[in-house]
Amino acid sequence: MTTQVRSGVTLVDAGREFWRHPSPWVLSLTFIAALAARIVVGDWQFSDLVLPVLMVAAFPVFEWIIHIVILHWRPRSAGRFTVDPLLARKHREHHRDPRKVELIFIPSPTLLWLIPTTVAVPLLVFSRLGLGLTFLVFITALGLVYEWTHYLIHTDYKPKYSAYRAIWRNHRLHHFKNEHYWFTITSTGTADRLLGTYPDQSAVPTSPTAKNLHGATR
């Protein structure tokens, strides 16, 4: 059953609900641990300033790729098996019921492998431990921003400022107008403009599969 619309929802109201779910806590604790470790390790260099700037600049494109390649994955047959990852299945459910709060967040089973991988990879890939920890601090911070922004868009909190209103509008268009466009979440169509998925909304037809991705039955 679809959740009823609530009027007069404040940021405090939205925040209370946000912290009732696992992924904000898991990301926050990972962020705090990474930040503490980064401070202890020290060894600050110029690359510790450059890397976060590059990460913030690249994040909209990263977000766009994840949304299209993983979340909008079309189920594929491989012999007797169907390749249909959990994230893709949950995202189809999210499109069917965009107001169901549990479907807005990163699924808990995904966190079980995502967080260890997010911790291990930068520490193994970067030649300097400090730089790997810098990456970890900022990737978890960006993850938290993503979770909060995506969650807030799907609440009944009404946009009050133009920047957030644009973000809110883009994602609403993705869900209720046409799922083939407007893939960015935390920015105002930056990667969409760059990669050709930011059309004039008046020129885009309303998709019959916006709530039923690929016309899938599951």
pLDDT tens-place values along the chain, 218 residues long: 445 566 678 999 999 999 999 999 999 999 999 999 999 999 999 999 999 999 999 999 999 999 999 999 999 988 888 999 999 999 999 999 999 999 999 999 999 999 999 999 999 999 999 999 999 999 999 999 999 999 999 999 999 889 999 999 999 999 999 999 999 999 987 999 999 999 999 999 999 999 999 886 55
Note the pLDDT of residue 1: 42
Q: What are the phi and psi torsion angles at 118 (to 5°)?
A: -65, -35
Q: 8: alpha, beta or left, given left = phi > 0 and alpha = psi -120 to 50?
A: left
Say what the pTM is.
0.92
Query: Which of 113, 98, 211 is CA-nearest to residue 155?
Result: 98
How many residues in total does the chain contain?
Answer: 218
Note the pLDDT of residue 217: 54
Note the pLDDT of residue 78: 82
Q: What are the phi and psi torsion angles at 100 (to 5°)?
A: -75, 110
Q: 105: alpha, beta or left, given left = phi > 0 and alpha = psi -120 to 50?
A: beta
